[in-house]
Structure 1
């Protein structure tokens, strides 16, 4: 990657990033044309190749960028400081809602990339995902007290289920192709959060 990309105005960087998220989220890796990304970003194809030497380089940059953006917003919302799982999930979902309002296609791209089977990028994506998810899961599980949850509950399995349901919800929303309303997303997630608490937390006697 050409480091000159980072010398571009932030607004122009974001336009290129969002264009990549959108085009790659709508097609397989192989069928995503660099020309379409350049057109959506409002730059020439040759200039896009000036910043990213090939399609694979841009694709993997966007994958890592999606992770970096997520970590940035989670940190900003103090998610990593929480010891309570559901407060962490709540802060995390609000952070992701903020991200989606800024980067509308980021969730759809991340999901598409995760399931991408093209050998040019598949192994790199899966290796990166395992490292990121395992670290995130370990952080979330470290402070949990089994006494807070229903007897015999597999906390790691519970965390994975909630994580996958959250990702699925964001995927479903991103596929609707409508302008995202933060208040609607927050209300939906609050309802899901209340359901999870009712299912997993130990009832007071």
Structure 2
């Protein structure tokens, strides 16, 4: 990647990033032409290639941008600070809603990228995902004080169950087409209330 990309005004960087998220979130990796991304960003195709040598480089940059942006916002939200697990999850959800306001297509891109099967980028995406997921999982475990949960609960199993349920929900939404973030927020709130009702220790 050409480092001069980071010397561009923030507004132009933002336009290129959002254009990439938009095009890649609507098509498979293979069927997302760089010319369409350039058009969405309001620049020429040759200028886009000036900053990114090829489509793979741009795609992986966008994926890394997703991860870095998410972790930065989550950290700033205070969701990794010592507190109840579900309080932490709620703060995290609010942080993600703020990300969506800045990058409307980022969530759709991230979901699409996670399930992308193109051999050119699949392995790199999965390797990066597990690196960032392990970071988030380690942070989340800091909030898992056994005293807040029902007696005898297998906390590791609970965490895995919530993770798999969330992934399954995202996959279902992807299969239906465009992801409604408003619906996702409401559904997630319902999931949180359900998990609280079965996992939290009653006062």
Band of TM-score, shorter chain: 0.7 to 0.9
Q: Secondary structure at the match of 2:30?
A: coil
Correspondence 1:195 to 2:202? no
Shift, 1:177, TM fit: 6.5
Aligned partner of 1:59 in structure 2 is 59
Aligned partner of 1:3 in structure 2 is 3
Q: CA RMSD in A?
A: 2.4
Shift, 1:139, TM fit: 1.6
Shift, 1:187, TM fit: 5.5
Shift, 1:155, TM fit: 1.9
Aligned partner of 2:77 in structure 1 is 77
Correspondence 1:96 to 2:96? yes
Q: Could you tell me how far apart the structure 1 residues matched to 2:130 and 2:185 are?
A: 28
Q: Could you tell me how far apart the structure 2 residues matched to 1:185 and 1:177 are?
A: 8
Aligned partner of 2:114 in structure 1 is 114
Contact 1:150 1:202 in 2 (8 A): yes
Q: TM-score with structure 2 length normalisation? A: 0.88
Contact 2:173 2:179 in 1 (8 A): no
Deviations 1:65-94 (Å, cap 9, x if unpaired)?
001110111122112213321111011000
Contact 2:80 2:143 in 1 (8 A): no
How many residue pairs get matched? Answer: 201
Correspondence 1:155 to 2:155? yes
Unaligned runs of 5+ in 2: none
Q: TM-score with structure 1 length normalisation? A: 0.87
Deviations 1:35-74 (Å, cap 9, x if unpaired)?
1100001000000000000000000000000011101111
Correspondence 1:12 to 2:28? no
Aligned partner of 2:126 in structure 1 is 126
Unaligned runs of 5+ in 1: none
Deviations 1:102-148 (Å, cap 9, x if unpaired)?
11111111111111111111111111111111121122113412232
Contact 1:66 1:106 in 2 (8 A): yes
Contact 1:16 1:41 in 2 (8 A): yes
Higher mean C-alpha deviation, range 88-97 or range 75-84? 75-84
Task: Call closer, same or farther: CA 1:89–1:171 in 2, change over 3 Å.
Answer: farther
